[in-house]
Amino acid sequence: MELVSFREIIKSEGRRLSCAICEERKEKRFCPAVHGRICPQCCGEQREVTIDCPSDCPYLQQARAHATEHYAKAQNEGLGELDREVLFPEIAIAEQFLYEREELIMGLSFALAKSARADRSLTDRDLIAAAGSLAKSYQTLVNSGLIYEPQIPNLAHQSIAREVETMVREFREAEQKHIGHTRLRDSDVLKALVFLLRMGLARTSGRPRSRAFVDFLFAQFPEKGSAIAGQEEAGSRIVIP
């Protein structure tokens, strides 16, 4: 039997204690996403980039408190990837609107949460992209009266858009049923979508796999009993003031 040298044992032990990602630096924390221990540098660099981090990871939660603040600052300074036009700067949203259309905003938020629960692979970017496409469509409708169908090649984004449009339709049907006519204007839907778009951008870390905005929506509409409300129950959440 060939004897293993003490040097080889040391090397083997060193590899065993190295980061599961880079295999170079020493591991110092457990990563539930890779089911192994990794180094702080890989955790910081690959978090929500190549690593699909679970929402309850303590290192992710610690990072989110700082990441959203830095991301928002970068966007305001024009240093991020986001084109400022995506924020629809020409659309002003008054506090009075948020008060008067709280039910609409809650309904659209619920639609986004429902979409994210139906497809657990969806990220902040998916919800934000779908909301942005819908906002552009409603902006065209409000400004020109033309019905514009947004070109959404991504199938997941199409599903999100359909869920949101379903909620808008149900909201109008609920108004018709309770007060005999519809008060919801296309401009109201536009403002509500832009508000949610801005809120999503303010909460996401900006990383490819960020789900900070998704988790925020889940917290507002916790899952109870059956997975998520169906269309009928979703419609019942809409309260006509």
Q: What is the pLDDT of residues 75-134, one digit of tens each?
A: 554 444 455 667 899 999 999 999 999 999 999 999 999 999 999 999 999 999 999 999
Structure confidence at residue 65 (pLDDT): 79
Q: Which residues contact 186 (CB under 8 A, 6 or more apart)?
A: 138, 141, 142
All domains of the chain in start order, with CATH? 1-46 (3.30.40.10), 58-236 (no CATH)
Instruction: Look up residue 84 and give its DSSP letter.
Output: G
Per-residue pLDDT of 7-41, as tens digits, reads: 665 555 555 678 999 988 999 999 999 999 999 99
110-124, 134-148, 179-193, 213-227: least confidently modelled range: 213-227
143 φψ region: left (φ > 0), alpha (ψ -120 to 50), beta (else): alpha
Q: pTM of whole model > 0.95?
A: no
Neighbours of 173 (CB within 10 A): 13
Residue 144 — very low, low, confident or very high, per pLDDT cuts 50/70/90?
A: confident
Q: Which residues contact 166 (CB under 8 A, 6 or more apart)?
A: 111, 231
DSSP characters over 34-50: TTEEE-HHHHHHHBTTT
